Amino acid sequence: MTGDGHSRPRGDRAGGRASDPRSRGASNGNRGAAGPDRSRDRQQHRVDPPRWVAFQAISAVHRDDGYANLVLPKLLAEHRIRGLDAAFATELTYGTLRLGGSLDTVIAAAADRAVERIDPPTRDALRLGAYQLLHMRVPAHAAVSTTVDLVRTVAPGAIGFANAVLRRIGQRDWQTWLDELGPGDLALRYAHPPWVVRAFSDALKDRKDELEDLLAADNTPAPVHLCARPGRITARELAEETGGVVGPFGAYAVHLPDGAPGDHPAVRDGLAHVQDEGSQLVAAALADAPLDGTDRRWLDLCAGPGGKAALLGSLAALRGAEVAAVEVAPHRARLVEHAVRGLPVEVYCGDGRDFDAPAYDRVLVDAPCTGLGALRRRPEARWRRQPNDLPPLTRLQRELLRSALDLTRPGGIVAYVTCSPHINETRMAVDETIRRFDGRIERLDARPLMENVTDSGDGPWAQLWPHRHGTDAMFLALLKRV
């Protein structure tokens, strides 16, 4: 690495579990093999281990700004929770976090006070209880009694309060709560902040009838996609090896049915990597865009953690090109280095706005963005993002795109990409930047470069959608320097 910046849902399983007499016993603390960690907290023996782990996970997410996908696997391993219990804990944790804002609305109504006025441990326990009562097939008595057990452990003074609130919540089903608290309120029904719903509606333009499908897709966990690195393994071979299926669009995509992708030898051995098919499509579109003249110098200006750099690097290796990959965050630059091992990619840790090696043939700006197009992947993300995150990001996006265009030779091509469909991060960013270049930029139609994809917008830009394409909501603009 060069360090000078070049100074350059519902869970059927959970339902099955809860209606299984064995698990009802477990709910009361009678579980055997996967029993609680007795050294931890003498009180904790009252709480069954999957629920205890789910509570720990959501508390860490809220208290420490943690990420569920990092926190939960550690807790499951630490408490030796596997198999169906792990699936139950995962559904409970992810579902509770994903629907957090809507659960809070119901809790506030049942408690007759704002959730901010409930102490954090009790609040998190109530969220878990409300999720079980309203969104899982856990019998009401089990949801209430296990949550009260949890409160007894983490906030003994709030047992009576929690019991009363949970019983009130359990008196209505989810639909009845919706009818009472916000009939027609899509933000409440699909558990998205209202500003995100408005942003999606704006981005869908004249297809607003799809808004509910999009919001529902965000509440469905994203499947794992692998990218078969060109020159190392084909998608068909990878699908055979992993038991997956070849993706519908890209030449390199394999969709996995389930399981940990890192377990597959192809991923361990660097023949493939985990990457949403939409991300593969936009990177491949840049590599495949027709270009006059030389085609040896490729640049990835925002490279961390390195998924697209790895695909570009694999294609560059086959085509006699080389890739420079720039990443401002040192730890993410190290991830890029790891991702591109053995490929013709040089990693630079520095700011893409200061990078000063000109005359690239193909340049990718996969800009830092709100990530609103990938909400399926991070259950807590939608509640963490705020509208005031936008101004600094949109400024940075425009600056990085300007820098990319400056670094591109005449005739060269820039791909501007975001994993957000917010129009301020997508078409407005591109249109405003092009205006500054005073006729020196040609807009290319990005859609034909994603060959098998239909319905990616009116052009020239392409917009993918989870509900239409089963990918993250990737945006792609292709620009040619003239």
Q: Which is nearer to ligand SAM, 70 or 216 (CB)?
A: 70
Shorter beta-carbon distance to ligand SAM: residue 143 or 312 = 312
Q: Are strands 322-327 and 297-300 parallel, antiparallel or unpaired?
A: parallel
Distances (CA, A) of 421 to 180, 219, 380, 466: 32, 17, 18, 11
Shortest approach of ligand SAM to residue 68 CB, angstroms? 20
User: Is residue 4 a known part of a binding site?
Assistant: no
Residue 158 phi, psi dihedral angles, 5° rounding: -110, 15
Rounded distance between C-alpha atoms, residue 269 and residue 118, angstroms: 49
Residue 302 among known ligand-binding residues: yes
Residue 369 is assigned to a ligand binding site: no
The residue among 361, 367, 351, 363 whose CA lies nearest residue 428 is: 367
CA contacts within 13 A on the Cβ side of 392: 4
Find the DSSP H helices in 65-139. Answer: 68-78, 83-98, 100-111, 120-135
Torsions phi, psi of 11, nearest 5? -115, 110
Nearer to ligand SAM, 194 or 392 (CB): 392
- Structure tokens of 346? 């040089």
| 308 is annotated as contributing to ligand binding | yes
Compute the least distance from the CB of residue 428 to ligand SAM, in Å. 18
Q: Does 304 carry a binding-site annotation?
A: yes
Q: What six digits make up the tokens of 120?
A: 């954090």
User: What's the min distance (Å) between Cβ of 481 and ligand SAM?
Assistant: 20
**Least distance in angstroms from the C-beta of 30 to ligand SAM:** 46
Q: Closest separation between CB of residue 348 and ligand SAM, Å?
A: 9
**Whole-number minimum distance, CB 478 to ligand SAM, in Å?**
16
Q: How far apart (Å, rounded) are the C-alpha atoms in residues 328 and 353?
A: 10
How many beta carbons lie within 10 A of that of residue 121, not counting itself? 17
Q: Name the token pair of 314.
A: 């694999």
- Find out whether 366 is annotated in a ligand binding site: yes
Which of 227, 349, 369, 419 is labelled catalytic? 419
CA distance 316 to 364: 13
Nearest residue (CB) to ligand SAM, 276 versus 361: 276
233 or 303: whose CB is closer to ligand SAM?
303
Please check if 421 is assigned to a binding site. Answer: no
Helix (H, G, I), strand (E, B) or coil at 139: coil
Which SS3 state, helix, strand or coil, does residue 439 take? coil
Q: Using CB under 6 A as the criterion, which residues of the chain lie in contact with ligand SAM when the complex forms?
A: 279, 302-308, 326-329, 332, 351-353, 366, 368
> Of the two residues 169 and 324, which places its CB atom closer to ligand SAM in the complex?
324
Which amino acid is residue 443, in one-letter code?
R
DSSP 81: -
Q: How far apart are CA 361 and CA 296, in angstroms?
A: 7
The verdict on whether residue 305 carries a ligand-binding annotation is yes
- Of the candidates 346, 362, 357, the one whose C-alpha atom is nearest the C-alpha of residue 303 is 346
- Do the beta carbons of residue 455 and residue 467 sit within 8 Å? no
369 flagged as catalytic: no
Known binding residue 448? Answer is no
How far apart CA 298 and CA 284 sit, in angstroms, is 13
Query: Strands 475-481, 462-463: parallel, antiparallel or unpaired by DSSP?
Result: antiparallel
Is 50 or 307 the residue whose CB approaches ligand SAM more closely?
307
Residue 412, Cβ neighbours under 10 Å: how many?
A: 26
CA-to-CA distance for 479 and 430, rounded, in angstroms?
Answer: 9
Min dist. Cβ of residue 69 to ligand SAM (A) = 15
Q: Considering beta carbons, is residue 361 or 366 the nearer one to ligand SAM?
A: 366
Least distance (Å) between residue 218 CB and ligand SAM: 18
**Contact yes or no for 107/389 (Cβ under 8 A):** no
Please tell me whether 371 is known to bind a ligand. Answer: no
Please tell me the number of Cα atoms within 13 Å of 120 on its side-chain side. Answer: 9
Catalytic residues: 419
Binding site membership for S-adenosyl-L-methionine: which residues? Answer: 302-308, 327, 351, 366
Annotated binding site: 302-308, 327, 351, 366
